[in-house]
Amino acid sequence: MTSLRNFQSEIDEIRSRETAKQRAIGAEWEKENQSLHDKKKEKAKDDRETGVVMREPEPQSDVEVEEQILDLLHSQQHKKARDMISSLLTQHRGEYIFRIGARPPYSKLFAGEPVEDAGDWTGISRNESEVISLQADLKKIVEDVGGQVSVLFEATEPHPRSTTLLRLPPPSVSLTPEVRCAVVGNVDSGKSTTLGVLTRGALDDGRGRARVGLFRHKHEVETGRTSSVGMEILGFGPSGAPILPSTAHSSDLDVIRREKLGWDEISMKAAKIVSFSDLAGHERYLKTTLYGLTSGAPSCVILMVGANAGLIGMSKEHLAIALALSVPVVVCITKIDMTPPNVLAETTKQVVKILKSPGCRKTPVFVNSMEIAVELSDKFAQQRLCPIFQISNVTGEGLDLVRTFLNLLPSSENDQEKFASNQPLEYCVTEVWSVPYVGTVVNGIVNAGSIKTGEAVLLGPDPNGNYQNTIVRSMQRKRADVTMAEAGQCVSLALKRVRRATVRKGMVIVHRTDTPPRAIRQFEGQVLILYHNTTLQRNYQAMLHCGAVRQTVRIIEMDHPQGVLRTGDRATVQFEFISHPEFIKEGMKLLFREGKTKGLGVITRLL
């Protein structure tokens, strides 16, 4: 476990270093337009020569800005307060969680300790009438600038306080923030049922009624098991309320199936979209689940654990994969309505023990109040916290906390570490279709830069390592037409003069240039063998997962003294793609498997 922990830290460092190098190279591409920073430097030089030095004010923290706004509202300076609120919403892309009153110590709140007696509260304490008055003023001003306010949490003891959500409706569908979540767990842990209840609104009947509408294939309906990557979305309006069909509370199964909202309807109404990848839980479909986790760039992994069964089977494998990919984890313990209290307590104890183990290094936080759900939503990823929800899809217990948490998660495209908007275009293909009267359509994620309809681009590499010219005919995001997509967004593109047979998953789309990216056949990586019952030697073949790339590779060289690798060994290994070259970059994480996951690592050199 200790070697795994150290190795994960090392590959994260390698990834950060290589990403920084690539972004520095990409910055050269941007230099043809003089940046604002250069203009400021020239102005500063002129000012020094004339003896005038203008110093920029130190940036203020959000907490300081909040207190200034509250002081302005308290002193009836509404015009200044409105300007500051507008600026705050603009900086945070139209969404901000605003707190009024003193704040409890998060260390005690997340640990489940009573905060009433805690003496280390922060912020300015206010009385109940002040909180009510400030809340009303805040609501009026936000509505004046075109936004909406919803009260997330309010309390009167021991210190009056409230937390509100300020949200502006997006100017267009293309700018609607999106949160991508991957839903994993063992067979019969309640993945599809939970998604059915969250997205359709109707509770389950205890016999799987809620999940039937999510299945895509006949054999899934017959067996009750997901075998493919199902996509579902949950929209939240400007007020923070979930967008559900009018028949959400109907008990008629046919009505629920018939009246569900289309993706385009949800996209047009939503101020935020949460998209779920419903991944397969059966061991037979591990390759599908792995592909969904590596190619989908999820903001978090929601691990479903059946309270009656515990963390068993593929759940442990899925948790290990999420940790290897450094994706934040959220645990949902389902079926609490039908599980005896002693069994539920045993399952909870087991989950906590695994999360605290040296291999996970997560701090479990039980989400049993709205205040914890709100405060945890934007902090859990950075602080290695793992939220644990206990829910029932039959009684509805705990589902309001899950919906609030999902509504407040930071959007995936805001992750500057993963996605760079000021870099050249890099779009990764994860799905391919042939649509009648439209042609070849690809779905994927914009990893860097931006793309517009009508733009001339390159698609590749093909089996010979070449790229072909094409044009983006049209574009859709969540099945709604858009004209542009930015880094971090998931969009579908219709391509001109491209045959379906020539496109495969793992290809990339880049700007049309004289020197297209190099297609890689061989590469070197630092790897750690997680498990193998014998030894790995030269010419060993395994399935490699690296981003959207999924192909068999062969080990051609290794630096291990004995020339063989066993469980727990670390080495620098040279790989070769068996079938065709791929687009990969230094710093990308990789997983390779033969059946179950065998090893993880990071690409260190392209050969």
The whole-angstrom distance between residue 236's C-alpha and the CA centroid of its chain comes to: 16
Peptide bond into 461 cis (omega under 30): yes
Length, in residues, of the chain = 607
Same domain, 140 and 201: no
Q: Of the candidates 167, 189, 221, which is a domain's last residue? A: 167
Q: Of the candidates 361, 382, 414, which is a domain's last residue? A: 414
The whole-number mean pLDDT for each consecutive block of 10 residues of the chain, a chain of 607 residues, reads 70 83 70 52 49 46 85 88 90 90 86 76 85 91 91 86 92 87 86 86 69 51 49 88 76 61 83 85 68 84 91 83 88 93 94 88 91 90 89 91 94 82 90 92 93 94 93 90 90 94 94 90 92 86 91 92 86 94 92 80 92
Distinct helix (H) and strand (E) counts, the chain = 15, 26
The CATH number that applies at residue 594 is 2.40.30.10
Helix, strand, coil % over all residues of the chain, rounded to 5? 30, 30, 40
Q: Of the candidates 167, 197, 223, which is a domain's last residue? A: 167
> For residues 64 and 418, what is the distance between their CA atoms, to the nearest angstrom?
29
| Reported pTM | 0.87
> For residues 84 and 90, what is the distance between their CA atoms, to the nearest angstrom?
10
Do 487 and 450 form a contact (C-beta atoms < 8 A)? yes
Give a yes or no: residue 128 inside a domain.
Answer: yes
Give a yes or no: residue 419 inside a domain.
Answer: no
Three-state DSSP at 523 gives strand
Give the domain extent around 535: 1-53+518-607
Do 293 and 506 form a contact (C-beta atoms < 8 A)? no
Same domain, 438 and 507: yes
Same domain, 339 and 310: yes
In this prediction, residue 52 carries a pLDDT of 43
Same domain, 220 and 283: yes
In this prediction, residue 247 carries a pLDDT of 65
Paired tokens of 158: 């021991």
Same domain, 339 and 366: yes
In this prediction, residue 418 carries a pLDDT of 83
Give a yes or no: residue 421 inside a domain.
Answer: no
Number of structural domains in the chain: 4
Same domain, 556 and 582: yes
Same domain, 44 and 71: no
